[in-house]
Structure 1
Amino acid sequence: ITEDGEVLGTFYRENRTTASFDEISPFLISALVATEDERFFRHSGIDARALARAVYGLGNRGGGSTLTQQLAKMQFNDPARNIVQRIGQKLGEWIIAAQLERLYTKEEIIALYLNQFDFLYQAVGINSAARVYFNKKPIDLRVEEAAVLVSMAKNPSLYNPRRYPERAKQRRDQVFVQMVKNGMMSEAEKDSLQELPIQLEFRPQSHTAGLAPYFREYLRGYMKDWIKTYEKQTGNDIDLYTGGLKIYTTINAEMQQNAEEAVNEHMGNLQRIFNIIKKDRKYGPYYFDTDPAGKVRKILDQAMRRTQRYRGLKKNGASADSIRTVFNTSIPMTVFSWEGDRDTVLSPMDSIMYYKGLYQVGMMSMEPQTGYVKAWVGGNDYQYFKYDHVKQGKRQVGSTFKPFVYASAIIEKNYSPCMQVPNAKICIEKGEYGLMEDWCPSNSDDEYGGTRSLKDALANSMNTVTTFLMKQIGPRPVIKMAREMGITS
């Protein structure tokens, strides 16, 4: 949870949050009963008429399982391997169904069924399904949306509205027919609704989607370590995924959103410029004075060996030549781009070259007064790039270290932030502080002359003034200052 109360995400093994009967759309209840168990409110767990019809028609005239039996079936984790096991399971379902009917009301059984059904795309239960497919709460589903989800009850993979929209529409329209048959809808309403296409607002829930995915992955590791310490100290067990923990963070949702949008816009612009620069290069993003072909081939071969595809082929005993053939054969794939996911046809080796030509990014914003992290962008897109440049990347600190130099000079020499310093090139000579050669840094704008105050020079990251201060105090006070402020590297 962010500091401004937004939910960044949820750690889960199964993306399921329960909904009570009162939180489920009446359209959903009607569609489910009409389609799956039209005598649900009149039987006690086993529908003798439906069972007889199923036996007489050998299953071709509809199934015989009630909603309660289907709920009971969900309690069996492993599918039956043969007819004997299935008969045993069926008997078990009848027994469990009868027990469920004694223990729960009809409304509770419907809620239990909908809360346990797997609607694909990590949408287990009606709460998740309504969010994933329509970005709604279950209570807000319209009748045509409810019918789509109910149509999946027969076979979620077969009637997947995202992959098979036409097939799913046919099944949805059949749900309307059943609702008319059971007096839950008029013919006119059915005819009108059947004219509507399926309109999804598909938002799959995953650990890679949503705000701050890199931060959330870092937080997962942090919390696992915290839980180990907590359990050791208290003797109480906590499960990160099922323990009901609420984790409050310093991330600001608005700042995080702005950071991700800014990174995407800025890096997209830089990438377009870079693509123009490397367009006419034979070896893409690489430039070598000697043996460019050999050096690029070595880089790509190393990258190839780090892929899951290569490791899988190698594990299955594929020869080097056959692996090379696979990596040089074009296949359909989806690749990352700064404009969004792009469907294309590339060979795996070409895709490696493509990704090698992409700029990478890392950004973190911290509140200096408290050290609170407000925004964390660890990379281009967590779905494609798991490497976190904020947490894992090792980079030269560059000008971000200058405040330590200025602070040391102010303390050691009692300088004022308003003190004027010449804006002139200054060298630290070879041999001083162990330098192997003279060090004469330039300003980024290559402009000199006049004087600048310390505060102005720091604000503009002027190398000349920083060098002047370093000559006045030497590196030891700066190192001491950095250590006292928590720098350990």
Structure 2
Amino acid sequence: MAATKAQKAQKEQETKKNIKLFWKLVFVGIGMVILLFLLTAWGIFGSLPDHTILENPQSELATEIVTADGKTLGSFYTDNRKPVKYEDLPQNLIDALVSTEDERFWDHSGIDGYGTARAFAFLGQKGGASTITQQLAKLYFTEQRSSNKIERGIQKIREWIIATRLEKQYTKEEIITQYLNQFDFLKQAIGIRSASNIYFGKEPKELTVEESAVFVAMLKNPRQFNPYREISKEKSLGRRNQVFVQMVRNGKMTEATKDSLREQPIKLNFTPEGHNDGMGTYFREYLRDWLKDWAASNTNPETGENYNLYNDGLKINVTIDSRMQKYAEDAMVAHMANLQLEFDSQNEKLKTAPFRDITAKQVESSINRAIKVSERWKLMKKEGKSEKEILASFDKETEMTVFDWQAPGRERDTVMTPRDSIYYYKKFLQVGMMSMEPQTGYVKAWVGGINHKHFKFDHVKKGVRQAGSTFKPFLYATAIDLLKYSPCKELPDGEYTIPAGKHGNTKDWTPSNSNGKYGTIRTLKDALAHSVNTISARLMDDVGPQPVIDLAGRLGINTKEMAPVPSLALGTADVSLFEMVGAYGVFANEGIYNTPVLVTSIQDKNGTVLYQYVPETRDVMNPETAFVTLKLMQGVTQSGSGSRLRGSWAKNNKFYKSVVTGYPYDFKNEIAGKTGTTQNNSDGWFMGIVPNLVSGVWVGGEDRSVHFPSTRYGQGATMALPIWGSYMKSVYADENLDISKANFNEPENLSIIVDCEEYKNGDDGLEDEDDAGDELGM
């Protein structure tokens, strides 16, 4: 009995010892945790961000290009991050985020005690404990996850400490906003705004609940649950549907809605924002160079250095209208793909294809020049390769992806030598198009080529080509201004010679008409409509070349290299499309020149205006001269080569239907315009004017020796005008754009007679060659 009592006493003593030991271990454990937190907070295991960094967490913000109609055209970035404000986030996104990632977000102070206890108790089997605030801390301030358990534990403590500091520093709304702005959704989509733009082609506030759920699903693992990747589409759908379940659980969605939405597939509108992707690629590249110059002379007060185009989160407000840009690109693609098929078919039996009118030796010389300006040549030169080694590399077959109008995505994989690839790319006809509002100079659309990824050269601003007959309105305007000629003035259409020694001529100059024929008497309006070269020669003799050059200079055209010779009348001068559109804008703007405008303002990431465009205008022409010249150019679209814009022009013309798209155009309103074709059909132009929009199109080969064999196909009316026609059909169909169909404004007290006797409309029997030039006259 006594032994039993002793045993009980001993047992009680041991129990007391165990209890004391337990509490010692508990307190030691708590002390160790506290000490670990303190050591982490003191920076023993690596420094923590101080309060100033927490106030201004560093993140690289993309420069955003915003169109006149408020759409994002593109970005310049190291990281494509475009911040969004909390009020611009849809409630369904916030509900989906909190319901799925952090149910007690609105109640905790950075650490979810219940979730943490659950995670410890069930070893993470029933969900983790990471709050939205902790995830933000991880994105901002903690390094890559370690494989070492102790290091991972310390990292988790760092996240907890930073999370509590973030909660003190920011409101809950700010934390959600920062988290969604910081998260990388892949595909160059950093932040919810870039992701919304890229995956669904819309702004975040426009996201539907099912689209918001897709993004919340991606937060768990943006690669594993990415809706764009073929391999992860099913996982993305399943995870999205789980987000719906969480929303029901948290009272943010009804069961009926969940059951309905989970049956819906994920519908993407994938719009990549790489530098070669999306709309306005050539415009954006020109803009990049313009912004670099601006940034080089402007200092960011936050950094004390010049503004960084890729990291400072600038907002560039541009004049481009996203709708008009799309219509321009659609018109270009539709016509150029079709025109290239015809061009290729006509080159099938050409031994020097795609080159014409030059010898095999000249072809080889052209290819060698292209080799020496190629990227491959430049890179190998930098690597120290000899010229012999570099040239040898151009004859070795290699795998490459090339442009192809007919291939899916307009690209195909192939094997060819780099030399052969140069031949291949030379065959493609190129294009330039620009559209501008003449009253403001605002550029509304800019298409610099057929594909920026494969053809970098911009044919709007950089390209300079002979203008052909699109230069003739400057000659006619000079005659109207100096001599008060009326569109009704009649001149004989007969052979005309400007003798040697006159107007800078070194020999007699006797241009012929495009078809080699002469008429009798022509009005100026009729002569311009049909690009009659003999009449242009007479006008040039009347006014002289220098006044024409002077006028062109006042119209914004670079005339430094323009020789004052009579042949200028037929468009021998090299000009850019950018200059031509600006110059033609004067006719529509009653004689006032507006410098073409691309950027209206620049704002920093806080909305402060850093740059504001100041209009640059000047009076360069009498309003009467401008109007009379417009009346002259209306003849081009009434009876000349531009008359195919009218429904009356050969609606059943099988040839034209086979080459162009969008025909017939059937415009009824006043249109002033001019086609242009240079010698050997190397360049095709069309300039078109309505009261509040001037648009120009150029089409041709990269080399002048790459062209159609006949004027039937190679003239501006076939190569360039259809793009203008298709573009304007789309522009007019969009009533929100308010593009005018009204008549041109007639100045008060007009002294020059413009009401000529009506002349015959329609086909004039010149077999589509009425604007082709014998000596460039077009």
Structures share fold, TM-score greater than 0.5: yes
- Higher alpha-carbon deviation: 221-230 or 269-278: 221-230
CA distance in 2, matches of 1:398, 1:298: 24
1:152 and 2:223 equivalent?
no
Contact residue 102 and residue 131 of structure 2 kept, 8 A = yes
Cα separation, 1, equivalents of 2:155 and 2:385:
41
Matched, 1:202 2:270: yes
Determine the structure 2 residue equivalent to 1:91. Answer: 157
Greater per-residue strand proportion: 2
The equivalent of 2:73 in structure 1 is: 9
Q: Tell me the amino acid that sits aligned with residue 335 of structure 1.
A: F
397, 401, 405: which is aligned to 1:328? 397
- Deviation of the 1:466 alpha carbon: 0.9
Q: Report the AA paired with residue 463 of structure 2.
A: G
* Aligned pairs (5 A) from 1:190-269: 193-206=261-274, 208=276, 211-226=279-294, 228=296, 242=312, 245=315, 247=317, 249=319, 251=320, 255-269=324-338
Choose which of 175, 180, 189 in structure 1 pairs with 2:243: 175
Match in the other structure for 2:112 = 47
Residue 421 in structure 1 maps to residue 491 in structure 2: yes
- Residues 148, 374 of structure 1: alpha-carbon distance in 2 compared, 3 angstrom cutoff: closer
Tell me the equivalent position of 2:471: 401
Once the 2 structures are TM-superposed, how far is the Cα of residue 272 of structure 1 from its aligned partner?
A: 1.8
Q: Give the whole-Å Cα distance in 2 for the aligned partners of 1:253 and 1:443.
A: 42
**Take 1:484 and 1:136, find their aligned partners in 2: how far apart are those partners?**
43
Distance 1:414 1:204, change over 3 A: closer
- 2:559 counterpart residue number: 488
Q: Distance in 2 between matches of 1:126 and 1:243?
A: 15
CA distance in 1, matches of 2:408, 2:313: 36
Aligned identity (percent) is 47
Partner of 1:125: 191
> Does residue 66 in structure 1 map to residue 131 in structure 2?
yes
Q: Is the 8 A contact 2:282 2:448 kept in 1?
A: yes
Aligned to 1:472: 542
**Could you say which residue in structure 2 is the equivalent of 1:112?**
178
C-alpha displacement at 1:155, in angstroms? 1.6
Residue aligned with 1:75, SS? helix
Q: Does the 8 A contact of 1:118 with 1:124 survive in 2?
A: yes
Q: What letter matches 1:345 in structure 2? A: D
TM-superposed deviation, 1:72 = 0.7
Cα distance in 1 for partners of 2:193, 2:439 equals: 41
Q: Which residue is equivalent to 2:141?
A: 76
The equivalent residue for 1:337 is: 405
Q: Does 2:342 correspond to 1:278?
A: no
2:6 match: none
Deviates more, 1:308-317 or 1:65-74: 308-317
Alignment CA distance shift 1:269-1:453 (3 Å): same
Which amino acid letter does the alignment assign opposite residue 153 of structure 1?
L
Match of 2:452 in 1: 382
Q: For structure 1, which segment, 313-322 or 139-148, has the greater mean C-alpha deviation from structure 2 after superposition?
A: 313-322
Deviation per residue, 1:420-443 (Å, 9 max, x gap)? 111122233456555565433233
Q: 1:5 to 1:197 in 2, by over 3 A?
A: closer
Question: Partners in 2 of 1:34 and 1:312 — Cα distance?
Answer: 55
Read off the aligned partner of 1:129 and give its amino acid letter: A
| Alpha-carbon RMSD | 4.3
* Secondary structure of the corresponding residue to residue 446 of structure 2: strand
| Counterparts of 2:385 and 2:124, CA distance in 1 | 45
User: CA offset at residue 462 of structure 1?
Assistant: 2.1
Matching residue's letter, 1:440: T
* Greater CA drift, 238-247 or 165-174: 238-247
Q: C-alpha displacement at 1:277, in angstroms?
A: 1.4
Q: 1:315 to 1:186 in 2, by over 3 A?
A: farther
Alignment partners' CA distance in 1, 2:485 and 2:71: 47
> How is 1:25-40 mapped onto 2 (pairs within 5 angstroms)?
25-26=91-92, 28-40=93-105
In the alignment, does 2:518 pair up with 1:454? no
Superposition deviation, residue 55 in structure 1: 5.9
Q: 2:130, 2:368 → 1: CA distance?
A: 56
Shift of 1:130: 2.6
Query: SS of 1:400's equivalent?
Result: helix
Deviation at 1:457, TM superposition (A): 2.2
| 1:416 to 1:136, Cα distance in 2 relative to 1, 3 A | closer
Matched, 1:364 2:430: no
Maintained 8 Å contact 2:66/2:316:
no
In the TM superposition, residue 31 of structure 1 has moved relative to its aligned partner by: 3.2
What SS class does the counterpart of residue 334 from structure 2 fall into?
Answer: helix
After TM superposition, the structure 1 stretch with the greater mean CA deviation from structure 2, 283-292 or 117-126, is 283-292
CA distance in 1, matches of 2:446, 2:270: 26
CA distance in 2 between counterparts of 1:172 and 1:372 reads 44
The 2-side partners of 1:323 and 1:438 are apart by 51
In the alignment, the residues of structure 2 paired with residue 216 and residue 317 of structure 1 have an alpha-carbon distance, to the nearest angstrom, of 34
Unaligned ranges ≥5, structure 2: 1-64, 561-778
Unaligned residue ranges in structure 1 (runs of 5+): none
Give the structure 1 partner of residue 738 of structure 2: none
Give the stretch that moved more between structures: 147-156 or 222-231.
222-231
SS of aligned partner of 2:367 = helix
Q: 1:18 touches 1:115 (CA, 8 Å); kept in 2?
A: yes
Distance in 2 (CA, whole Å) between partners of 1:149 and 1:195 is 18
SS at the partner of 2:461? Answer: coil
Specify the code of the residue in structure 2 equivalent to 1:119. Answer: F
Q: 1:477 to 1:186 in 2, by over 3 A?
A: closer
Deviation string 1:400-451 (CA, Å, 9 cap, x unpaired) is 3323333444455554443211112223345655556543323334442111
CA distance in 2, matches of 1:156, 1:366: 42
**Conserved 8 A contact 1:284-1:357:** yes
How far the C-alpha of 1:149 sits from its partner, in A, is 1.0
Which digits, 9 at most, give the CA deviation of each residue in 1:175-224, with x for residues without a partner? 34545666666777655544433221222345555554433433343344
- Name the stretch that deviates more: 146-155 or 343-352: 343-352
Identify if the C-alpha distance between structure 1 residues 454 and 160 changes in structure 2 by more than 3 Å, giving closer, same or farther. same
CA contact (8 A) 1:334 1:341 kept: no
1:237 and 1:288, CA in 2 relative to 1: closer, same or farther beyond 3 A? closer
Question: Whole-Å Cα distance in 2 between the matches of residues 281 and 442 of structure 1?
Answer: 29
* Per-residue deviation, residues 241-260 of structure 1 (Å, max 9, x unmatched): 646555353x5666544433
Query: Are 1:417 and 1:455, in contact at CA under 8 Å, matched by a contact in 2?
Result: yes
- Range with bigger deviation, 176-185 or 194-203: 176-185
Query: How many angstroms apart in 1 are the aligned matches of 2:205 and 2:360?
Result: 66
**Which whole-Å CA distance do the structure 1 matches of 2:247 and 2:162 have between them?**
28
CA–CA distance in structure 2, aligned partners of residues 8 and 180 of structure 1: 34
Instruction: Answer yes or no: is the 8 Å Cα contact 2:67–2:73 preserved in 1.
Output: no
Tell me: CA distance 1:47–1:415, structure 2 relative to 1, closer, same or farther (3 Å): closer
Report the residue type matching 1:165 in the other structure: K
Are the aligned partners of 2:66 and 2:318 in contact in 1 as well (CA < 8 Å)?
A: yes
Per the TM alignment, residue 156 of structure 1 is displaced from its structure 2 partner at its CA by 1.1
